[in-house]
C-alpha cells in the first residue's frame, strides 16, 4: 500500500512538471509581442517582393495623376 501511495505521488509530481512545461510553451507561443513581430516580418517580406513594390508604386502614381487631373479640370 505504501508503494502505491509513493507511485501515485510520483505520478502527480511528474504530471505537474509536464503541465508547467506545457503552460510555459503556450505562454511563449501566445506572446502578443512575438506574434506581432512575426506578422510584421511576414508583411515586410511580402512588400519587399519586386512585383508588389513596383505594383504599389504604379498604383500610387496613377492616384497622384488622377488627383492632379481632377484638380485642374
Q: What is the DSSP string of 6-70?
A: HHHHHHHHHHHHHHHHHHHHHHHHT-HHHHHHHHHHHHHHHHTSHHHHHHHHHHHHHHHHHHHHH
Q: What would the mean pLDDT of 18-24 be, rounded to a whole number?
A: 95
Structure confidence by residue, pLDDT tens digits, 52-70: 888 888 999 999 999 999 8
Please indicate, yes or no, whether the overall pTM of this predicted structure exceeds 0.75: no
Amino acid at each position: 500500500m505504501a508503494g502505491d501511495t509513493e507511485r501515485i505521488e510520483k505520478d502527480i509530481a511528474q504530471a505537474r512538471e509536464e503541465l508547467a512545461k506545457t503552460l510555459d510553451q503556450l505562454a511563449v507561443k501566445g506572446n502578443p509581442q512575438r506574434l506581432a513581430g512575426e506578422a510584421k516580418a511576414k508583411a515586410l517580406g511580402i512588400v519587399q517582393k519586386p512585383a508588389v513594390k513596383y505594383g504599389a508604386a504604379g498604383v500610387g502614381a496613377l492616384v497622384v495623376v488622377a488627383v492632379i487631373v481632377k484638380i485642374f479640370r
